[in-house]
């Protein structure tokens, strides 16, 4: 499974996107290294590995409107 873990600034939630299955699920109780990394990220550290492009927008309307203004 190709997957991406997502955590948005201002939230302690972690999500996993299954790219092959086309689903996104909230990880209810992260454990192990993922929990450690989430603690660091919640404290302000940005963790990036194997990602070519990632942009956070306030709503999907911005994505599907045909343009993005950051």
Question: pLDDT tens across 46-67, in order?
Answer: 888 888 888 787 777 766 666 5
Helix (H) or strand (E) holding 21: none
Q: What's the pLDDT score for residue 70?
A: 55
Q: What's the pLDDT score for residue 6?
A: 92
Question: pLDDT tens across 13-50, in order?
Answer: 999 999 999 999 999 999 999 999 989 888 888 888 88
Q: Could you tell me the residue ranges of all domains in the chain?
A: 3-64
Q: What's the pLDDT score for residue 54?
A: 84
Q: Give the single-character DSSP code of 2.
A: -
Q: What's the pTM?
A: 0.74
Beta strands in 11-59 (DSSP E): 14-18, 23-27
Q: How far apart are the first and last CA of the chain?
A: 31
C-alpha to C-alpha distance for 4 and 50, rounded to whole angstroms: 9
Neighbours of 27 (CB within 10 A): 16
């Amino acid at each position: 499974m190709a997957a991406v873990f997502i955590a948005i600034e201002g939230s302690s939630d972690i999500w996993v996107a299954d790219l092959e299955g086309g689903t996104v699920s909230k990880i209810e109780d992260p454990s192990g290294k993922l929990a450690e990394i989430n603690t660091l990220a919640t404290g302000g550290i940005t963790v990036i590995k194997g990602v070519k492009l990632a942009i956070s927008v306030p709503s999907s309307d911005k994505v599907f409107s045909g343009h993005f203004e950051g």
